[in-house]
């Protein structure tokens, strides 16, 4: 790159490498961003298309020691290919430990909506069973379970303040300790990883388009995913997973949340913009019902996004019949 012009000068950025058939895919799913819906679809698709769906029964350990990273990467890398591995885990750099870097995919969601979904789901569960929240969070005290969301935010309870609110970015930033500190360093590293290691990061608000693009990019894994997703029988399952007793915080509390989550929003809007560029490239129009105000004026509706079905403290029953090899 000394003296003569570089490839970039002459040709612009190199074309993005989209492999026709990657045999190693990792979906390091972000909690409360629709991943339970996607994993249900993957179970059906793995049977239909004959790929190895590798899941984990660890749901509440996203950050790993160096030894744990090495062990997990070794276990994933030796799985029978083609495989799709999924787990709630912050980005893992396989090449750092001498492994082949797999193709990564993920889905994120409006950060305040994700936070609210998690807040009420931990307390009250969903329609699958009135008591399932008691099983998920048995040690939660009654006064904590019924803690008003506004009190939690305005009085700065740990659950409603940083670093707990800095949640999405570490999934893309990685395992470095600084990835958990709200700030520019983690944000920029997360963006870099999205560009270099993720084939697709979609947004839950446009899930059908996410599924369409996954089918386009990874047909061996996702062929027919949209028709399965739209099947009335499958949609019935989704209706059982809407979080119950969900309320919207006051405008004042929302303002405070936005302030605390400004890095999360910068990342969310960056990913959304990249996703829309990708959609336009493949001829998908963005169906926008009305112009969306910027965060400082926007109060999310609790039902604005399709309710996801997962939580980091997932019940084990869900894993009993997951297809494994």
Q: Which residues are catalytic?
A: 88
Q: What is the DSSP letter of 79?
A: S
Q: Which two tokens stand for residue 116?
A: 């609210």
Collapsed DSSP state (helix, strand, coil) of residue 135 = helix
Collapsed DSSP state (helix, strand, coil) of residue 152 = helix
One-character DSSP codes across 168-225:
SHHHHH-SSGGGGS-SHHHHHHHHHHHHHHEEEEEEGGGHHHHHHHHHHH-HHHHTTH
27/317 Cα distance (integer angstroms)? 21
Spatial CB neighbours of 180, under 8 Å, sequence gap ≥ 6: 63, 163, 166, 170, 186
List, in sequence order, every residue forming a beta bridge with 243; answer none if it has no partner. Answer: 126
Do 91 and 172 form a contact (C-beta atoms < 8 A)?
A: yes
Going through the chain in order, the beta strands assigned E by DSSP cover 24-27, 52-55, 83-86, 103-108, 198-203
Q: Which two tokens stand for residue 231?
A: 């099947």
202/214 Cα distance (integer angstroms)? 9
Burial of residue 51 (number of CB atoms within 10 Å: 0-12, 13-18, 19+):
buried
SS3 content of the chain, % helix, strand, coil (to 5): 50, 10, 45
Q: At what angle do helices 232-239 and 35-49 cross, to 10 degrees?
A: 150
């Amino acid at each position: 790159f000394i003296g003569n012009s570089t490839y970039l000068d002459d040709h612009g950025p190199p074309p993005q490498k989209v492999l026709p058939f990657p045999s190693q895919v990792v979906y390091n799913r972000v909690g409360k961003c629709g991943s339970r819906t996607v994993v249900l679809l993957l179970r059906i698709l793995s049977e239909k298309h004959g790929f190895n769906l590798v899941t984990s029964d660890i749901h509440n350990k996203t950050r790993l020691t160096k030894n744990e990273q090495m062990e997990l990467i070794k276990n994933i890398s030796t799985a029978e290919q083609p495989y799709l591995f999924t787990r709630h885990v912050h980005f893992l750099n396989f090449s750092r430990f001498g492994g082949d870097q797999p193709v990564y995919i993920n889905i994120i969601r409006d950060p305040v909506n994700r936070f609210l979904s998690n807040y009420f789901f931990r307390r009250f569960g969903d329609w699958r069973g009135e008591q399932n929240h008691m099983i998920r969070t048995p040690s939660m005290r009654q006064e904590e379970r019924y803690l008003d969301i506004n009190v939690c935010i305005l009085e700065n309870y740990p659950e409603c303040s940083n670093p707990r609110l800095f949640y999405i970015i570490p999934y893309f930033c990685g395992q470095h300790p600084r990835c958990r500190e709200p700030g520019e360093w983690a944000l920029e590293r997360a963006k870099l990883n999205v560009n270099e290691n993720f084939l697709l990061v979609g947004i839950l608000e446009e899930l059908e388009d996410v599924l369409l693009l996954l089918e386009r990019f990874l047909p061996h894994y996702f062929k027919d995913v949209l028709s399965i997703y739209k099947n009335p029988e499958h949609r019935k399952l989704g209706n059982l997973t809407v979080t119950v007793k969900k309320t919207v915080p006051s405008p004042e509390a929302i303002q405070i949340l936005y302030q605390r989550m400004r890095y999360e929003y910068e990342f969310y809007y960056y990913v959304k913009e990249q996703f829309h560029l990708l959609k336009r490239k493949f001829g998908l129009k963005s169906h926008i019902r009305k112009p969306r105000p910027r965060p400082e004026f926007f109060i999310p509706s609790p039902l604005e996004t399709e309710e996801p079905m997962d939580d980091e403290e997932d019940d084990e029953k869900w894993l009993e019949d997951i297809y494994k090899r």
